[in-house]
A and B are shown apart, each in its own frame.
Chain A
Amino acid sequence: MSRYSNFILLGLWFCGVCLHAQKKSFLNRKKEKGTVTELNEVKVYGFKNSKTAHQGQKVITLENKEIIRNPTNFTETLRFNSPIAFRDFGNGGVSSARFRGTSGTNTSVLWNGIPINAVGNGQTDFNALSINTTDEIKVVSGGSSVAYGSGAIGGSIIVKDNLSFSKHQNAQVFSSTGSFTTSNNFAKLNIGTDQWALKLSAAYNRSKNDYDFLDTRFRDEDGNTLKNENADYDNYNIDASLGYKFSNTNKLYLYTTKYEGDRFFSAGLPNPSSGKERNQDISQRNLLKWIFQFSKFSQSLKLAYLTQESRYFNNRFVNRSNFIKSKSWYADYNLNYRHSEIINFNYFITYENILGYTDIISKRTRESLAIGGSVNYKPLKSTTTTFSIRNENNSDFSVPVIVSFAGEQKIGIGATLKTNISTNYRVPTYNELFWPQVGDPNLEPEKSKQFEIGGDFKWRKISVSATYFYIDIEDKVQWLPSGSSNLWRPRNLEKVVHKGFEISAKAAITVLKKHYFNFITNFTQTLAKDLETNRRLPFVPQRLWNFNIDYNFKRINFFIQHLYQSKVFTSNNLSDFESIESFGIYNFGINYIILKKTKNKVVVGAKVNNVFNSLYYFTTLRPNPGRNFSVNVNYKFR
């Protein structure tokens, strides 16, 4: 509270952000690249009234429909429906995003506008977070640090719970069960009146995850093929959200959620029987949001408190663990002044206080206060521009003033040209700073400059969105062996560049009036390069492609999903012997509406994943499951 108490007196409360932990035992002599990282920090989720929030950027939105098709975990949902590449260690293993080829710390995840990347490693583990009860997921490509603060360099993912003030009552129960004793279940209830809105939801996921490995190069000492071991997991979350409308211009919201996950980390090949690691994650988040409008002003105040804990057991049979815990307070005030149709001003102030500690790192607190604003100028009906600026005062770092300029120009009917130029940053994480023996408290924030230009094109039921991006990151934090040992330490070393393009497209076609086809696809081409060595970065696929094709006829729905990833190098050697082969996999699904009444709808479905039983990898020698099956029921009622 110390240095910012005056500001707090200004009527701000605060809250925090949360965090998450890092599975690595510091005792491992070698730090594994890529999985270890950062601490989190301030962010501002501006007023969502402003269409300016993601101006000039490429955004895709996912909803319940996408979630129930890929309900296993958040990684899977995004893999088949977004332009993001993931590096994970299996369905129960750690999963990190590589948005536009950037590292896991450069994707910011926000829960109802509050940043939730882990304090310990600065990432979100997409397999330690349940989003099946979420109403809406926005995937925003490119830097958004002005809006979301640290880490929003490669992109941002915003998960939201929706509350609406209208007389309604609806519920959904979904349950899926499939191969390897995998089960994904959730229930949601929304009730509302003109004044009240309530959402209650819960989810439970589990799997024994004990599938046969298709890679037959490896066998046990008796010559038998191998299967995944020590890989079971389960997790649940419960959420409650409540809204109260005092008037059309005065609304109060409360969101709360709890997640608990317990999982075992498989060793993969060549010796799955040697796997013993276990990890538990517990997180809890609370947010109070007040929205109040008067004359030409609208303001929002958000107060959040988040806790996160992760426990790592290097041996599941021994009751000995390492933990990391964090508690974050977060307060955000946002004021919007709509001067006219042409010009709009936005001001924000965000305070964040993060406390983190582990079994071997004593309690450390980081505070930050960010002030910023934006001017949205719309000189013509077809032209919109926004200039934004943010200045953060951080107790641990000198964070640069960052700016963003966005412009959108409508060209004719259905086409918009977009551009976004911004500077962004990522502050070093708790692990990078304080990990005993290896952490470096003098690390500098990573700084990025980004340019992107693209357009949206719409014609009848076809829409295409394409963007070229160029991201330049300085002071990139890299874990590298130090001195004559192979003790890995973080250093501000690299200057890296990420460039490429993303294309998303959607099309809906009706054939013979009764046959409905939907097509949706994401393609990303990325070149990520270290400018010092002039070499490509490992773990970045150059090409990533997914698509979903839907066919609907009467009560039947049939769909195909595809995911393609090009070859990924796993070391700087860029040697074929240290790489993951390219692959393309397909999933088929079928749904049938068995009951369709005004108040009740029951859909039963079946899905075959990896239809062609392909052997494919996301991480070295951790083969993914072969062909596998699931059936599900989706019941909605009012």
Chain B
Amino acid sequence: MDYRLRIGDEVWYCRADSGEENAVRITMKDHVVNVRYSMVSEHQIHLMVDGTATSAFITGGEDEKMVVIEGVPYPVQNEDILTQAASKRKGPRAVPQQVTPPMPSVVVRIMVSPGDLVRKGDGVVVVMAMKMESTLTAPHDGRVRNINAAVGDKVMPGQILVDIEKEEGAATGDSGEKAVP
């Protein structure tokens, strides 16, 4: 199997050739390593890489996994799957196009009212998670159509708190930037 794996800004081509049971030969860039392994549990892999033992702890799916080795987390992404998913959305990597919290939060303040004109980057809602406030901003210029949350509401990522509709005749946007009715 071939993989294109991203850690941070680096994308590496990797090839895996399975050998005998619980052994695999992995080619990364220009070097080859022989790995023996055992799946200790769903989240723990014991690795022997060219004779040196390590435990890696792992969670996540085929597109993205978090690997923890000696206390250090390595977010590893499968670039091929991410690119496929992105091309289905007919665009490059997804950037937030909606006013939605990055994590489960509580709404602290709503800074706009229906009918307000906002510019890209204007603060629209302040949410709080774990005693820290953060301001969600308008993803594009437009007019506030609906406010779908009230102060004190518990809100989840993906939940759209404020609908901002692009003004008629405003800059032409692509399909990804339409306000959700």
Same complex origin of A and B = no
Q: Which B residues form the contact surface with A (CB < 8 A)?
A: none
